[in-house]
Structure 1
Amino acid sequence: MYRLSGVTKHYSRGKETVRALDGIDLEIPDGGQLVIQGPTGGGKSTLLQMLGGLDRPTGGTVELAGHDLGAIGEAKLTKVRAELIGFVFQSFNLIPTLSAQENVETALVPMGIAKEERHKRAFAALESVGLGERSNHVPSELSGGQQQRVAIARALVKEPKVLLADEPTGNLDEETRDEIMELLHGLWRERGLTFIMVTHDTAIAGRAPRLATIRAGKVTVSENADAQVWAG
């Protein structure tokens, strides 16, 4: 479970103090799904970075599975990220000179997994997102939707407990967006992941079972029991 208590994040911009997060209290249960929406500059990506241990809060605590992500040492934090958290980004962040297979395998290298096992797990992850037959293709030989599938496979090959996605459909057309959302929802349901996603897309936000709206560093959470979730 995630538990955020009084989380603040302040930046200095010249003489001005920017309160990107301003006293966030939030709980996200294991296996839960949360969509985060809000205006540009409202703190959405900052909140996701806190949840992923990519940045540390100015104040308050961010707890995941008993770990205070803002207080533990860098080596321990790196280990927690490697073992518990998978990341998917809008820009895919694939290495252009590596094949899909090799891109997915990069996630396993820091975990000290042997080469043969890395190869097996990476191929299985690509198959799970429908790209087994494209494993030897480099990113430039794949469509945007296929590149995002590779990025999803790379996030999930570690078998994390948490999947964090920052605008994962932002660079995709509507049809491909729907395909990726169906894939993500299906993987969330099948694997029991805790799935947290930032989006500007009102169509995605409108179908979220739980929506966190963030404005000026403050969060309001609403439940939608009648949400039409993606088919998966």
Structure 2
Amino acid sequence: MYQLRGVTKQYRRGKETVDALAGVDLTIGDGDRLVIQGPTGGGKSTLLQMLGGLDRPTSGSVELDGVDLAALPEARLTKVRAESIGFVFQSFNLIPTLSAQENVETALVPLGLRAADRRERAADALESVGLGERRSHLPAELSGGQQQRVAIARALVKRPKVLLADEPTGNLDESMRDEIMELLEGLWKEHGLTFVMVTHDSAIARKAPRLATIRRGQIKVTERAHQ
């Protein structure tokens, strides 16, 4: 479970100080699906980076299962990210010279698995996102939707507790958006993940069981009936 208390993140912009997050309190339970929405520059991606241990708050605490990510030494934080948190980004972030299979395997290298185990788990992960027959393809040989499926397989292959997605459908057309959302929601249910997603897309936000709206660093959470 995540527990955020008084999370503030300040940046310098020229001579002024900007609050990307301004005293955010937030609880995200195990297995929750939370969608974060708000205007550009409102603090959405900053909040996601805090949850993923990719950035540290200026003040406040970001606890995951009782451990304050903000206070961890970098080596331990890297270990938590490698073992417990999967990331999916808008731009896919695939390595262009590696095949789909090899891209997925990269997530397992920090876990110290044997090469044979990495290969097997990566193949299974690609199968689970419908790309079992495209394992040897390079990113340039795949459509945008297929590249995002590879990125999702890479995030899930390490069997994380948490999946964080930053605009995962932002580069996709409407039909592919719906496909990817259906896949993500299916994987969320199947694996019992805690799933937090940033989106600009109101169609996605409307279907979220929990919606966090961020404006000027302040957060408001709306609970909906289970869908």
Fold shared, TM-score > 0.5 on shorter chain: yes
TM bin (shorter chain): over 0.9
Tell me the matched-pair count.
Answer: 227
| More displaced stretch, 63-72 vs 20-29 | 63-72
Residues 10-53 of structure 1, C-alpha deviations (whole Å, 9 max, x = no match): 01111110000000000000010100000000000000000000
- What is aligned with 1:116? 116
Within 2, Cα distance between the matches of 1:60 and 1:188?
29
Extract unaligned runs of 5+ from structure 1: 228-232
Match of 1:27, SS state, is strand
Q: Percent identity?
A: 77
- What is aligned with 1:202? 202
| More displaced stretch, 171-180 vs 218-227 | 218-227
- What is aligned with 1:163? 163
Please list, as runs of the form range in 1=range in 2, the aligned pairs for 1:1-232 lying within 5 A after superposition: 1-225=1-225, 227=227
Match of 1:165, SS state, is strand
Within 1, Cα distance between the matches of 2:14 and 2:100?
43
Residues 60-89 of structure 1, C-alpha deviations (whole Å, 9 max, x = no match): 000001211100100000000011000000
Normalising by structure 2, we get a TM-score of 0.99
Q: Which runs of 4+ in 1 moved over 6 A?
A: none
TM-aligned CA deviation for residue 226 of structure 1 = 6.0
Within 1, Cα distance between the matches of 2:128 and 2:159?
12
Within 1, Cα distance between the matches of 2:185 and 2:226?
16
Within 2, Cα distance between the matches of 1:115 and 1:214?
43
CA RMSD of aligned residues (A): 0.6
- What is aligned with 1:230? none
Normalising by structure 1, we get a TM-score of 0.97
Within 1, Cα distance between the matches of 2:124 and 2:187?
14
Within 1, Cα distance between the matches of 2:174 and 2:143?
14
Within 1, Cα distance between the matches of 2:59 and 2:206?
32
